[in-house]
Amino acid sequence: MNGRALLERYDASLRGLARKGRLRTLGPRSGLDFASNDYLGLARSKRIAEAVAAALAAGTPVGATGSRLLRGNDPEHEALEAKAAEFFGAERALFFGGGYIANFAVLTTLPQKGDLVVLDELIHSSAHEGAGVTRAEAVVVAHNDAGAVDDAIVAWRALGGTGRPWIVVESLYSMDGDRAPIAELIAVADRHDAFLFVDEAHATGVYGPDGRGFAHDLEGRDNVVVLHTCGKALGASGALVTAPAALCDYLVNRCRPFIYATAPSPLMAVAAATALDIVADEPERRERLAGLAALAGKRAEELGLPVSGSQILPVVVGDNARTMTLAQALQARGFDVRGIRPPTVPEGTARLRISLTLNVGEDDVSALFDALSEEWARRQ
C-alpha cells in the first residue's frame, strides 16, 4: 500500500465536506473587522502592551515551562486569580489556557457519578464535548427554556436520580447573540439543589456593572460556577473559572486538563489582569459598543432581519454555499464577515455572523449594511 492510499479515507472525507459546502480553509485577516470577538478593541491596547513589556523587562518569563503543580506556578498567575476573584465577586478564580479547555475541564471534573448535567442545545461545543465524557448522566434541552430544564430534572428524579443536577448555559449565545434567562435558571437550580454553570464568554467585559457579566449578582454563591474567557472582550487569551474555594481546590487536585497541562504564559496573566483594570476604568468602551449594536440593530430591522439586541447579529441564510458566496462578496468589498456552517450551527441555519467591535465605527457599520442590502438583493 502506497502512502497516498493510506490517506484516501481522509481525502474522501474532505471531498464529502466540499460537496456539502462545508469545507473549511484558513484565510488571512483582511478588511474591516466584523468577524472577531475583540469587542472592546483591547487586543491592540497600548496599555496592555506596555504592561506586558514592563513585565518582560522585570524578568517575567514568556513561558511557564511546566504545569501549575510543578514549576509553572508564577506570581502573575496568582495575581490575576486574586484580582479576578475580587473583580467578579467570587470566592476564588482559577486560570486556564483557554475557554474550550476550561469548559471541558469543569464538566469532566466537577459533576460526579450519579449527577445529571443539563445542557442548553445551543451551548458551546466544548461544553457538549465535556458532557460527552463526564461521569454524570447528560441530557440536552431546548434552547433558553427554563421549563425544559426543570422538566428534565424532575424526570431524572422520578427515574431514581439521587445526585446533584448541573445546569449548563451560556449567558450570551455566540451564534445567535441572545441572552439566557439567568433569573429563571437560578430559580430552577435553587428549587432542585442544583449547580448553575454559566459560560460568560461573550458577555465578560461587555455587560453588567464594570463589565462583570450577566451572572454578576450570582457570583459568590455556593451553587454557581462561572467561566470568563480572556481572549474575547479582554483582548488576551486564556480563561478564568470563578467558583467557591472548595470547587477550585477540587479542580487543582482532580482536574486532569489542569494538572497535566503546561500553565498559560505568565505574560497572558499580566495582559488579562490589565484588561480587567481597563474594563473597570473605561466604561465608555462599553457605551460605544452599545451604540454600535443599537445602530446595527436599527439597520438590520430596516432590512427585515431579526435583531439580537447584542453585539452579535446572525443573518441566517440557510444554504451553505449561498452563505459562503454572500460572505465572499462582502469580503471583496472590504468587510471581514465570515460564514458559519454546520456543525457549528444546526443544519439548515448557515449564516453570516456579524460581530461588532470597537475596531470599526458607525460609518463602517452603515456601509456594511448598505453592502449587505445590495448583495442580498443581487442573490434573490
Residues 296-307: what's their mean pLDDT?
94
Q: Of 281, 297, 319, which marks where a domain is finished?
A: 281
| 37 part of the active site | yes
| 2 part of the active site | no
Q: Is residue 2 part of a domain?
A: no
Question: The domain containing residue 360 runs over which residues?
Answer: 283-378
Claim to verify: residue 312 and residue 364 sit in the same structural domain:
yes
| Alpha carbon distance 345, 192 (integer Å) | 31
pLDDT-derived band at 22, boundaries 50, 70, 90? confident
Catalytic residue chosen out of the listed positions 199, 200, 219, 336:
199
Average pLDDT, the chain: 95
DSSP H or E run through 137:
strand 137-141
| Alpha carbon distance 39, 147 (integer Å) | 32
Q: Return the pLDDT at 176.
A: 94
Q: Is residue 256 part of a domain?
A: yes
Instruction: Count structural domains, the chain.
Output: 2
Claim to verify: residue 116 and residue 225 sit in the same structural domain:
yes
Look at strands 335-336 and 312-318 and give their pairing. unpaired
Q: Other C-beta atoms within 10 Å of 30: how many?
A: 11
Phi, psi (rounded to 5 degrees) for 316: -75, 120
- Whether the predicted pLDDT of 260 surpasses 80: yes
Q: Is residue 21 part of a domain?
A: no
Claim to verify: residue 274 and residue 304 sit in the same structural domain:
no
Claim to verify: residue 326 and residue 369 sit in the same structural domain:
yes
| 170 part of the active site | yes
Using the CB atoms, write b or e for 245-270: b if 16+ within 10 Å: eebbeebeeebebbbebebbbbbbbb
Residues 258-271: what's their mean pLDDT?
97
| 202 part of the active site | yes
Residues 25-37: what's their mean pLDDT?
90
Catalytic residue chosen out of the listed positions 126, 150, 232, 308:
232
CATH number at residue 235: 3.40.640.10
Claim to verify: residue 288 and residue 276 sit in the same structural domain:
no
CATH number at residue 292: 3.90.1150.10
Claim to verify: residue 154 and residue 263 sit in the same structural domain:
yes
The percent of residues above 70 in pLDDT, for the chain, comes to 99
Claim to verify: residue 85 and residue 178 sit in the same structural domain:
yes
Residues 37-52: what's their mean pLDDT?
98
Q: Return the pLDDT at 26.
A: 85
Catalytic residue chosen out of the listed positions 37, 45, 223, 359:
37
| Alpha carbon distance 53, 239 (integer Å) | 21
pTM of the model: 0.94
Q: Return the pLDDT at 6.
A: 86
Please name the residue ranges forming H helices in the chain.
3-6, 8-19, 46-57, 75-88, 99-109, 125-133, 146-158, 182-191, 245-254, 256-259, 266-281, 284-302, 320-332, 362-378
Q: Return the pLDDT at 2.
A: 63
Residue appearing with cell numbers 459562503: 324
Give the closest residue to 105 by CA, choosing from 269, 252, 265.
252
Question: Is the Cβ–Cβ distance between 342 and 15 less than 8 Å?
Answer: no
| 113 part of the active site | no
pLDDT-derived band at 312, boundaries 50, 70, 90? very high
Sign of CA dihedral 4, 10, 12, 14: negative
pLDDT-derived band at 351, boundaries 50, 70, 90? very high
Catalytic residue chosen out of the listed positions 103, 126, 144, 174:
174
Residues 291-297: what's their mean pLDDT?
97
Q: Of 251, 281, 311, which marks where a domain is finished?
A: 281
- Whether the predicted pLDDT of 379 surpasses 90: no
pLDDT-derived band at 25, boundaries 50, 70, 90? confident
pLDDT-derived band at 1, boundaries 50, 70, 90? low
Claim to verify: residue 356 and residue 264 sit in the same structural domain:
no
Residues 210-237: what's their mean pLDDT?
98
pLDDT-derived band at 3, boundaries 50, 70, 90? low
Claim to verify: residue 275 and residue 344 sit in the same structural domain:
no
The grid cell for 16 is 464529502
- For residue 247, give the amino acid letter: L
Residues sharing a CB contact under 8 Å with residue 110, sequence separation 6 or more, in sequence order: 166, 195, 197, 225, 247, 250, 251
Catalytic residue chosen out of the listed positions 77, 83, 124, 192:
124
Claim to verify: residue 50 and residue 119 sit in the same structural domain:
yes
| Alpha carbon distance 270, 265 (integer Å) | 9
Catalytic residue chosen out of the listed positions 170, 200, 219, 336:
170
- Whether the predicted pLDDT of 248 surpasses 60: yes
Claim to verify: residue 261 and residue 302 sit in the same structural domain:
no
Claim to verify: residue 104 and residue 214 sit in the same structural domain:
yes
Catalytic residue chosen out of the listed positions 192, 202, 216, 228:
202
Sign of CA dihedral 312, 313, 317, 323: negative
| 124 part of the active site | yes
CA distances 334 to 31, 364, 371, Å, are 5, 10, 10
